Structure 1
Amino acid sequence: MAAGERARKVENTPGELVGVTLGDDLSRLIPSELANLGLPGLRAVFAARYAAGELMLYDSQGEQSTGRGAVIACVDTSHSMYEAGPGGVTREAWAKACALALLDQARQAGRDFVGILFSAPGKIQVFRFPGDRPADTARVIDFAESFLGGGTSYQTPLSAAGELLREEFDDAGRARGDIVMLTDDDCGVTTEWMRSWNEAKHALGFRVFGVAIGAARIAGTDSVLDALCDNLRSIEDLTDGHAAADLFRVI
């Protein structure tokens, strides 16, 4: 756990699962609610229940880790993300559900959240959610429903994420942010870019987490995604409540 973070024992945070309850904490969403998010016809119902705090959640008790910098979710929205992932839910829906859970995690910790949708080189869409104010529901829905299409580039979204963390450090003195890559594809990066990326990572002290969605090969130890990440998981890991709680506990 990065220096400067604090951990405390609290109820209703990711950890030991003790039951089911109602609320709006997306990091504890049960699978059936996740499936509703994956169906376009039910997304409006999901949004209404989210706004009313009536989603079905795992009730849990555990440690809550609070970082200092922003949480940035880089969500792959290339064409292949339309394909089915675990349980027949689209890869896009899995990625967006994870990103929304991270948004909720950041909000509860008072941290800024940024969602970066990406696909081909130079093609991104950035959604900012400051930690000092409630997340606008319409903006959250826009983030969840937007899709770019096209190919896949790691350099474009990660460069944007790194620049946002640098701006945060320069403007507010906050370091040690967290970047989460949610993708179903592996792609190359240049040696020069990798060098500058590692320099920025060392200077700003941020961590990079990866979630491989629907493609086991990119979760392997010889993948580019693995080389970029401090912690790489497969989306299948997150179908286990305890594994999901473990991931969200450290972000």
Structure 2
Amino acid sequence: MRQESALLRAWGVGPGELERMPFDQRARLAERLRTGRLAQWAELIGRFRQMARGERARKVENATGELVGVTLGDDLSRVIPSELAGLGVPELRAVFAVRYAAGELMLYDSQGEQATGRGAVIACVDTSHSMYEAGPGGITREAWAKGCALALLDQAREAGRDFVGILFSAPGRIQVFRFPAGRSAGTDRVLDFAETFLGGGTSYQTPLSAAGELLEEEFDDTARGRGDIVMITDDDCGVTEEWMRGWNDAKRRLGFRVFGLVVGAPRVGEAGSVLEALCDNLRSVEDLTDVHAAADLFRVI
């Protein structure tokens, strides 16, 4: 029973949910997790989620960060003490008000991490044939990618943001899993997302077009922009010039960011690659036993 509880916790099923779960449902879920590929991933998934929790604890939205000097502006949260001291002198209060209105107060200047997004978090996970290849420790590229995606699901739920998992492979082949904020993710639905593998080749246009449409739909319905797309792949492929123009227009209009994670293929994403052109932030992950390779991602998303 201890092993079963640990296995379920690794997949995000908490003690409270276990207590409410009927015995036959719990038995079916445990059996599903003990068999097949899911059993091999439990430890990796648990480490990903633990790492993400630690990064969330370190993260502060809109952090002021490291102080690097003094600048001018109207942000009262960063006004230097000598400016505030003027408020204690009645004759200087009017001067303070004028300088505040003109944006000429002296403020601490800082250099911190980029502000987090507000729209949906979308993980585009490559499930082409090459993602089934195992790396160090016997961990497949798919397992690392799915572990990262499930940690991003936790990240989105913690922040009250929608999460969408898009599994993709060849042109036209995708499967979309939507997890709206404020609703139970549903363990079976999460496991369906983790287990699904499409196979075949790789196309960037298909999943990224779907992600862009989802963010545009969200913006039209709720006026929320600044979504985040995380592209996890091990391959590089071409896109048309016309599609790229439309993609860049959508990025400017909706204000979303694109993060790229190249899994187990160091040559992908090199200077001049399509993936480098698509992503605002791109990194390679060669050691698939290392869940901390993407740690800083969880401080800015």
User: TM (normalized to structure 2)?
Assistant: 0.65
Q: 1:52-87, CA deviations, whole angstroms, 9 ceiling, x for partnerless residues?
A: xx9983573411445210000000001111101343
Q: 1:229-249, CA deviations, whole angstroms, 9 ceiling, x for partnerless residues?
A: 000011247865665331210
Choose which of 123, 139, 142 in structure 2 pairs with 1:89. 139
Amino acid at match of 1:42: A
The alpha-carbon distance between structure 1 residues 93 and 240, as it changes in their structure 2 partners (threshold 3 A), is closer
The alpha-carbon distance between structure 1 residues 123 and 196, as it changes in their structure 2 partners (threshold 3 A), is same
Q: 1:24-75, CA deviations, whole angstroms, 9 ceiling, x for partnerless residues?
A: 698xxxxxxxxx99x71616967xx97xxx9983573411445210000000
Corresponding residue for residue 168 of structure 2: 118
Corresponding residue for residue 197 of structure 1: 247
The alpha-carbon distance between structure 1 residues 115 and 79, as it changes in their structure 2 partners (threshold 3 A), is same
Matched, 1:222 2:269: no
Amino acid at match of 2:197: F
* 1:218 CA displacement: 1.0
Corresponding residue for residue 78 of structure 1: 128
Question: Which shows bigger deviation, 132-141 or 155-164?
Answer: 132-141
Q: Distance between the aligned counterparts of 1:63 and 1:41, measured in 2?
A: 30
Amino acid at match of 1:91: R
Corresponding residue for residue 215 of structure 2: 165
Matched, 1:109 2:106: no
Question: Which shows bigger deviation, 232-241 or 130-139?
Answer: 232-241
The alpha-carbon distance between structure 1 residues 215 and 44, as it changes in their structure 2 partners (threshold 3 A), is closer
* 1:220 CA displacement: 1.3
* 1:163 CA displacement: 0.2
Comparing both structures, which one devotes a greater share of its residues to helix?
Answer: 2
Cα RMSD (Å) of the superposition?
A: 3.0
SS in 2 for 1:57: helix
Comparing both structures, which one devotes a greater share of its residues to strand?
Answer: 1
User: TM (normalized to structure 1)?
Assistant: 0.77
Q: Distance between the aligned counterparts of 2:228 and 2:38, measured in 1?
A: 33
Aligned pairs for 1:120-135 within 5 A: 120-135=170-185
* 1:134 CA displacement: 2.2
Corresponding residue for residue 57 of structure 1: 50
Q: Distance between the aligned counterparts of 2:125 and 2:149, measured in 1?
A: 7
Corresponding residue for residue 39 of structure 2: 42
Q: Distance between the aligned counterparts of 2:283 and 2:41, measured in 1?
A: 30
Choose which of 186, 193, 212 in structure 1 pairs with 2:236. 186
The alpha-carbon distance between structure 1 residues 149 and 56, as it changes in their structure 2 partners (threshold 3 A), is closer
Query: Which protein is bigger by CA-based radius of gyration?
Result: 2
Q: 1:200-240, CA deviations, whole angstroms, 9 ceiling, x for partnerless residues?
A: 00000000000001111113122111110000011247865
Amino acid at match of 1:93: A
- Whether contact under 8 Å (1:152, 1:185) holds in the other structure is yes
The alignment of Structure 1 onto Structure 2 pairs a total of residues equal to 216
Q: 1:127-171, CA deviations, whole angstroms, 9 ceiling, x for partnerless residues?
A: 000011121110000000001111100000000000000000001
Aligned sequence identity (%): 71
Q: 1:82-117, CA deviations, whole angstroms, 9 ceiling, x for partnerless residues?
A: 101343200110110010010010010000000000
Amino acid at match of 1:245: A
Give 5+ residue unaligned stretches, structure 2. 1-8, 13-32, 62-115
Corresponding residue for residue 32 of structure 1: none
Corresponding residue for residue 33 of structure 1: none
Amino acid at match of 2:50: L
- Whether contact under 8 Å (1:113, 1:131) holds in the other structure is yes
- Whether contact under 8 Å (1:72, 1:178) holds in the other structure is yes
Choose which of 219, 225, 230 in structure 2 pairs with 1:175. 225
Give 5+ residue unaligned stretches, structure 1. 1-22, 27-35
